[in-house]
Amino acid sequence: MKYGKKFLLVVLALMLVLSISSMATAQDDLSGDLEIFSWWTGGGEAAGLEALIAKFNELYPNVNIINSAVAGGSGVNARAVLTTRMLGGDPPDTFQVHAGAELNSLWVKAGRMESLNDIFEANGWLEQYPQGLLDLISDAEGNIYSVPVNIHRSNVLWYVPSKLEEWGVTVPKDWTEFVDTTCPALQAKDVTPISIGENWTQSHLWESVALGVLGADGYNGLWNGATNWTSPESVQVWDTYGKVLACANEDMNAISWQDASKQVIDGQAAFNVMGDWAAGYFIADLSLEPNTDFAWAAAPGTDGVFMMLSDTFGLPKDVKHPENVRAWLNFLGSAEAQDIFNPLKGSLPANTTAKIDDATLYNAYFQSAYEDWTTNTIVGSQRHGAVAPAAFDSGFLNIIATFQADKDSASASANAAALAIQTGIGG
Ligand code: GAL
């Protein structure tokens, strides 16, 4: 059957009018509250969230957003509050949760989350999100439980190029070089070789040391059972980590991740290992230029490997405003929202139709991270929920704290092995 050109144009115009008016109706229809729970409260964390909320407010002017962010990097405090609320029958409308075990081993397993397949199908996201990421937010039956807003990288080493030149050091290629050569050279100049912050940032550093010492397969083996937690290689991770700690600032337990990153910018410390929310902090909060005011490399010994994590939001069962959450999630997963959020957050868009090629939106840092994301070996971050459940994480933070005091590698290895068994890690 053949249709005239005019007829097709009329049909197209009608479809456009209809879709615009149905969008308008949906937007007018929604009202009431929408409580958004996260740990993005400031210092580089909040700018992206606030920009998202501002755009959502424009789209849905009658929805009242309650931003219930709980301060504390990496969600260590937020997760405790969330658990009380979820299990006490007072779930927030939507909450931040990492893709992977953090989502699946607790909230999905407990049957507390709504499946979101309809949202993914209606938006064509099954084709727009990387399969590996979809797998991290799905159960074995293919039900999808959250909407990713980004891809972050955990294993990044930050530094200031002009400072390294001034101190006569170069970026160490592995942890042995860092410990044996870079660290003493910097200490001789009264410069802190590596800055670290509070407890969780220490476990963040630990996973980069583990990846550097064990390699991608060995690191993955910790989570899939192929690497024994008490093997000589695993003990060596702790030995190396202990030597790296000895190159760090003494006030580590008292400072936040932002303070630790800023020690590098201020020339107090030479290096810092932190996820690329540090890029968001440098760019959005401190107005720094990539490659001049700050630069980056893969954490020592991890070149060619991208340790990933993803921030996602889900819809818990029995929330007060499910329709508002659905509108929020529909928005959050769109390329438009991801292009608003990620340039401020320091992360890559998870939706592959976002404008990552636009260098006016995504500067040199993002271009370099994207190149690595699309060419490197991908592994998941323990610290940020991709490969181990929250139960492992809280126990592991204690092991990290104990190790800081006693530097006993054998005991840390054995305790981590026991924790892995208790929390169902390693098969
Ligand atoms: C991570 C989270 C990032 C950032 C970071 C520091 O767990 O995925 O988006 O918030 O903590 O707080």
SS3 144: strand
Count of the separate structural domains present in the chain: 2
Mutational test site, ligand 1, from 40, 82, 152, max ligand atoms within 8 Å of CB: 152
Binned at pLDDT 50, 70 and 90, residue 24 comes out as very low
- The CB of 258 under 6 Å from ligand 1? The reply is no
- The CB of 259 under 6 Å from ligand 1? The reply is no
CATH of the domain at 202: 3.40.190.10
Q: How many Å lie between the centroid of ligand 1 and the Cα of residue 345?
A: 10
Is residue 372 included in any domain, yes or no? no
Tell me the per-residue pLDDT of 119-143, one tens digit each, with 9 for 90 and over: 999 999 999 999 999 999 999 999 9
Is residue 341 included in any domain, yes or no? yes
- The CB of 45 under 6 Å from ligand 1? The reply is yes
Region 228-249: mean pLDDT is 98
Please give the mean pLDDT across all residues of the chain.
94
Q: Could you tell me what percent of the chain has a pLDDT over 70?
A: 93
In the prediction, which pLDDT does 10 show?
43
Q: How many Å lie between the centroid of ligand 1 and the Cα of residue 90?
A: 24
Which of 346, 365, 366 lies closest to 46, judged by CA? 346
C-alpha to C-alpha distance for 416 and 427, rounded to whole angstroms? 15
Is residue 371 included in any domain, yes or no? no
Q: How many Å lie between the centroid of ligand 1 and the Cα of residue 393?
A: 14
Q: How many Å lie between the centroid of ligand 1 and the Cα of residue 44?
A: 10
- The CB of 35 under 6 Å from ligand 1? The reply is no
E strands in 168-238: 192-195
In the prediction, which pLDDT does 426 show?
81
Region 144-169: mean pLDDT is 98
Atom of ligand 1 at shortest range from CA of 38: 10
- The CB of 74 under 6 Å from ligand 1? The reply is yes
Binned at pLDDT 50, 70 and 90, residue 281 comes out as very high
* Percent of the chain that is helix, strand, coil (3-state, to 5): 55, 15, 35
Whether 277 and 401 map to the same domain: the answer is: yes
Q: Could you tell me what percent of the chain has a pLDDT over 90?
A: 92
Higher pLDDT, 148 or 426: 148
Domain residues for the domain of 196 are: 156-301+389-422
Q: Given a cut of 50, is residue 259 above it in pLDDT?
A: yes
Whether 122 and 167 map to the same domain: the answer is: no
Mutational test site, ligand 1, from 37, 40, 45, 312, max ligand atoms within 8 Å of CB: 45
Q: How many Å lie between the centroid of ligand 1 and the Cα of residue 185?
A: 32
Tell me the per-residue pLDDT of 101-111, one tens digit each, with 9 for 90 and over: 999 999 999 99
Tell me the per-residue pLDDT of 262-277, one tens digit each, with 9 for 90 and over: 999 999 999 999 999 9
Query: In whole angstroms, what separates CA 162 from the centre of its chain?
Result: 29
